[in-house]
Amino acid sequence: MNNFELYSMMEKIQDKKNNILVTVTEGAAGKYLFSEREPVVELGEELTEEEIRLLSEVEQSCKMEIKNHKFFVERLKRPAHLIICGGGHVAQSVIRIAGKVGFFVTVLEDRPSFADEARRAGADQVICEEFEKSLSQIQGSEDTYFLVVTRGHRYDRVCLEAIAGKPHVYAGMMASRGRAALLKKQMKEEGADEEFLDGIHTPVGLSIHAETPEEIAISIIAELIMVKNGVIKTSGYDTELLEYLTGRREPETGKVLATIIARRGSAPRGIGTKMLVLEDGRLIGTVGGGCMESEVQHQCLRMFNEGKQMTKCIRVDMTVQEAEDEGMVCGGTIEVFLEVIK
């Protein structure tokens, strides 16, 4: 099995709850994929039982050293799935932004013309059926976000009643305080789960005095990001990055994957952030921009030109003064693991 096949396997199992990718950062090259604490793929030297146990039990992405073997262990986050009930103007504005910040977007809309608008706005999936029927097709998970932005009170209720029994990390409803309070009161009186109702984000979005559909969408996206980034897991692999890592796009093009494995100070991006550098200098993703990113890109291109190393770790340091000189708001230090992908 090669790297392309490993990443294809990782993509196939990404909906499972506990996935961990382990990369050897010093010593003989190796990658190991765990799912539900069991090894799924082993590329490299065989791991000992103790190494398998310790690596598979990691709760947070980190560097590890076990008997002189150094690893970077990534707790992989499942793709955030945003379910939008309704395809009106606010929903369309949310769709246009959500995909850019890491959400897979499914829109449920019972009106064909608005379903078409959702597709044109860039939704990954559109189900054009009655809300109750379309929601019956959504299982939900700890990475599912429900956003209710329908055209009326009775549709909101249908959606909330269907969502109540599904696992999710977020449920939000666009409504005035008065309308939301009335709907919750009615549902409580009829036996709806109080904990679920109390957890609904409504009025939806962060308070920024938003008025237009676009402004409301920004406030909603900001709230979704706040919830999503509160989960302590590696940021994971977005769709475009996986297109290259699985070999579906430009399989013959040389590429180096750069992953932040440690950070100190106010470095702009967190542990697990990834950037792919292609042999012609193109970048897929970002590790923070500015001279930090430029240095990472330079080191990756050196690996192409020299052709000696398949992996290496680099440290990029930017003091506060250097950051100011470059016009950046962040300084700090990042440790980046570089690996040639074949």
Give the side-chain half-sphere CA count within 13 A for 147: 29
pLDDT digits 0-9 by tens, 169-217: 999 999 999 999 999 999 999 999 999 999 999 999 999 999 999 999 9
Instruction: Assign domain 80-228 to its CATH superfamily.
Output: NAD(P)-binding Rossmann-like Domain (3.40.50.720)
- Classify strands 311-318 and 103-108 as parallel, antiparallel or unpaired: unpaired
- Phi and psi angles of residue 45, each rounded to the nearest 5 degrees, phi first: -65, 150
Instruction: Give, as one character, the DSSP assignment of residue 142.
Output: T
Q: What is the mean pLDDT of residues 98-110?
A: 93
Residue 33 is predicted with a pLDDT of 94
CA distances, 66 to each of 33, 45, 96, 210 (Å): 17, 14, 45, 52
Q: What is the DSSP string of 261-298?
A: EEEETT-SS-TT-EEEEETTS-EEE-SS-HHHHHHHHH
Average pLDDT across the chain, whole number: 90
Sorting pLDDT into bands at 50, 70 and 90, what band is 236?
Answer: low
pLDDT digits 0-9 by tens, 293-313: 999 999 999 998 888 889 999
222 pLDDT above the threshold of 90: yes
d(CA 228, CA 233): 10
Structure tokens that stand for 77 in this block: 């986050």
- Within the chain, all domains assigned CATH 3.40.50.720 are found at 80-228
Q: What is the DSSP string of 94-114?
A: HHHHHGGGTEEEEEE-SSHHH
> Do 95 and 84 meet the contact criterion of CB atoms below 8 Å apart?
yes
> To the nearest 10°, the Cα dihedral for 5, 308, 69, 263?
-90
Q: Name which residue leads in pLDDT, 68 or 128.
A: 128
Amino acid at 70: K
Instruction: Print burial letters for 29-65: b (CB count within 10 Å at least 16), e (below 16).
Output: ebbbbbbeeebbbbbeeebeeebbeebbebeebbbee
52 pLDDT above the threshold of 60: yes
3-state secondary structure of 207: coil
Q: What is the mean pLDDT of residues 220-246?
A: 83
